[in-house]
Amino acid sequence: MTHHTHLPIESLSVRGQKVLDLLPFRQRTVDGAVLISNDFGDHMFLSDTEYQALVRGDVANEDPLRARLKAGNFLARELDREAITARLQEKYRFLRAGPSLHIFVVTLRCNHTCQYCHASRARMDAPDVDMSIETAERCVDFAFETTSPSLTIEFQGGEPLANWTVVEHIIEYARQKNALAGKSLMFALVTNLSLMDEEKLAYLIDRRVQICTSLDGPADLHDGQRLWKDGKSHDTTVDWIRRINQHYVDAGMDPHLYHIEALPTITRQTLARGNELVEHYAALGCKSIFLRNLDPFGWGAAVKNRLGYTMEDFLEFYRQTFLHIVEMNRNGQDMVERTAALLFSKIIGNVEPNYLDIRSPCGAGIGQLAYNHDGRIFTCDEGRMVDRSGDDCFQIGNVHGTTGEGIEKDRYRDVVSSPTVRSMVMASTLEGQPGCSSCVYKPWCGVCPVHNYCEQGSIHGRMADSTYCQKHMGIFDFLMERVHRADPFEMALFQRWATPRGQPHYVHEAEAL
């Protein structure tokens, strides 16, 4: 059970002596101990005896528990308000910025037929699904209206390399605009690599574009899920992963920071092969892996009966694979599990990594925007995926203007402050979400309104019935158990995972062109 315990700010008394000024806290039993947390993101593990003393106010001034409570920012009258204020300002700095991630869907065409395709791709010969040069420039113009000092343009599809001319044009046009705008500009490309060639790679390397791909595991697993009638997807993907990673090594760059990002999608076929999956990544020189479950977007919902699983099954897979990753590190093989790293950065590192899917409020409309190939603007990429199923409720604008001849294009301020964006903010602010507001993990968690909409029919999810909540609750419980039990090696490993490191090589500051 989780409780949101509100104790009075006034000092509690023991034998007539005031000893405590407890701030509100939340609690949950984890690994036989009582975990408590506060809104600042601090936490403590207490024994049952300590917890009972805490709620009775039976903690004397000389009790070591009092010193721990003070250090953990649980005592109101001994709080360093200036330091806490600075921490909260840093944690919520994203609220002052505006959308920094701008996803460009340059085409819906793709030469793969992935069974779980979240983007609901179109055939390679499909007409009218490529972004035009005119639309691309309008999307870039709109993106540069953001009030954020940093801006990342991420190319998605379909397969974005199928519309290479427009990808190249967007990069050059954005760099040209940034010569005046002066933002910290980054580019990222999500690709299956099957259309990559030496000329394209040389250009992407020269323009410092971060490259991300999908790798579902060994050949039989990958090729069985990521179908490509014109070749062997696994062999092609692996070949380019090796070549791109080797480029960074040859350039003398830190391979922990600079490498191609590869992501697996976990299906029913993967559940019994977690160790094999991670070791396959390690053999390719990959230093991290993101263990992510099958989402209910695009074709993911349609293939649930064939490729899906219960959340209990996924959590067991996650726990066992995580433990294997820890043992790999103990044996000298560097490997990071990205979900754990994101959460540890919040829990241990007291840093908000600004991962848009796990923050409060989420990034929809205020942290990211997604631009469809036809210029329509969506709250997020997930909202754009819902549109592919015929529901445009997450559309918030159009770079070409609304319907009707002669109407001006939607203005940036109107788009980002639209009723839809405001609703998404409200639906993903945990203080107003039943179940979340009283959860011990609230300081580090977040919800996805689009996931709620797809699974439950409302952006305001019912957390008691939500697989999204079930997943994160299960992962939080497991990770906090590991923190509670950690030996010195594990604690040092988690601290290392929790320490963010920038990637300045990918950043384009304003430059004369």
pLDDT one-digit tens code per residue, 79-115: 999 999 999 999 999 999 999 999 999 999 999 988 8
pLDDT digits 0-9 by tens, 422-470: 999 999 999 998 889 999 999 999 999 999 999 999 999 899 899 999 9
The answer to whether the CB of 403 falls within 8 A of the CB of 376 is: no
For residue 80, being part of any structural domain is answered with: yes
Write the CA distances from 291 to 229, 330, 336, 437, integer angstroms: 27, 20, 10, 27
Query: Do the domain assignments include residue 25?
Result: yes
Tell me the pLDDT tens digit for each residue of 314-343: 999 999 999 999 999 999 999 999 999 999
| Residue 381 in tokens | 């990429």
The answer to the question of residue 86 being in a domain is yes
pLDDT for position 301: 61
- The bridge status of strand 25-30 relative to strand 33-37 is antiparallel
Residue 64 lies in a domain: yes
Which pLDDT band holds residue 15 (cuts at 50, 70, 90)? very low
Domain contains 61: yes
Q: Give 57-72 pLDDT, tens digit per residue.
A: 888 889 999 999 999 9
Does some domain include residue 6? yes
What pLDDT shows up at residue 502?
87
Q: Which residues pair with 151 in a beta bridge?
A: 185
SS3 state of residue 21: coil
pLDDT tens-place string over residues 353-404: 999 889 999 999 999 999 999 999 999 999 999 998 899 999 999 999 854 4
pLDDT grade for 1, boundaries at 50, 70 and 90: very low
Cα–Cα distance measured from residue 209 to residue 168, given in angstroms and rounded to the nearest whole number: 11
CB 271, CB 309: distance < 8 Å:
yes
Which residue shows structure tokens 């106010």?
A: 57
Whether residue 488 is contained in a domain is answered as no
Strand pairing class (226-227; 368-371): unpaired
Query: For 297-391, where are the alpha helices, taking DSSP H only?
Result: 299-302, 304-307, 311-330, 338-347, 381-387
Query: What are 195-254's pLDDT values in tens digits?
Result: 999 999 999 999 999 999 999 999 999 999 999 988 899 999 999 999 999 999 998 998
At 410, list the tokens. Answer: 């939607």
Q: Give the long-range contacts of residues 223-229, CB within 8 A, separation 24 or more.
A: 224/269, 225/114, 225/115, 225/116, 225/265, 225/267, 225/269, 225/307, 226/112, 226/114, 226/115, 226/192, 227/112, 227/113, 227/114, 227/115, 228/111, 228/112, 228/113, 228/192, 228/194, 229/113
How many domains does the structure of the chain reveal? 1
Q: CA–CA separation, 464 vs 449, rounded Å?
A: 15
Q: CB neighbours (10 Å) of residue 278?
A: 23
> If residue 48 lies in a helix (H) or strand (E), which one and from where to where?
helix 48-56
Range of the domain at 73: 2-91
Instruction: Summarize pLDDT for 157-173 with one digit per residue, the tens.
Output: 999 999 999 999 999 99
**Model pLDDT, residue 402:** 57
The Cα–Cα gap between 481 and 31 comes to: 6
Q: Is residue 369 part of a domain?
A: no
Q: What's the chain's average pLDDT? A: 90
450 within 8 A of 459, measured Cβ to Cβ: yes
